[in-house]
Amino acid sequence: MAIAPAAASAAYQAIQKIGNNAPVTSSVSIDGDQSAAPNFSQFLSGAMKEAVGTLKGGEQMAAKGAAGQADIVNVVNAVNQAELTLDTVVAVRDKVIAAYQSIMQMPI
């Protein structure tokens, strides 16, 4: 399966953007010290909300383009960004499923 270099680059940039927007919450360590630590469930939730927002934005721009209310360049960019976001989400899902299957095949 060949992956276009531009698509791979855009996917890596999208992942980096999601990682930079990760919320930071306060947590208590074993020593009782308060430190800033990322919460994985909040990170994952935020990333999925951002992905859904990108997909909805692409859909809205496509509808505006079909109605003749938007510039074609903006429509193509929004749809391309939505497509790359969907590809990234599918790739992450596939990796999670593969990891789960690998864990399930481990001998006890």
Burial of 65 per CB tally in 10 Å (0-12, 13-18, 19+): middle
Q: Which domain holds residue 97?
A: 46-108
pLDDT digits (tens, 9 = 90+) for 63-97: 999 999 989 999 999 999 999 999 999 999 999 99
Query: pLDDT above 70 covers what percent of the chain?
Result: 67
Please tell me the predicted confidence (pLDDT) of residue 108. Answer: 82
The residue length of the chain stands at 108
Is 92 part of any domain? yes
What local confidence, expressed as pLDDT, does residue 59 receive? 93
Cα–Cα distance between 66 and 78 in angstroms, integer?
13
| Number of domains forming the structure of the chain | 1
In a domain, 35, yes or no: no
Bridge partner residues of 28 (DSSP): 34
Residue 27 reports pLDDT greater than 60:
no
Asked whether residue 20 is assigned to any structural domain, the reply reads no
Residue 52 is assigned to a structural domain of this protein: yes
Cβ neighbours of residue 69 under 8 Å, at least 6 residues apart? none
Residue 82 lies in a domain: yes
Q: Is 89 a domain residue?
A: yes
Q: How many CB atoms lie within 10 A of CB 105?
A: 7
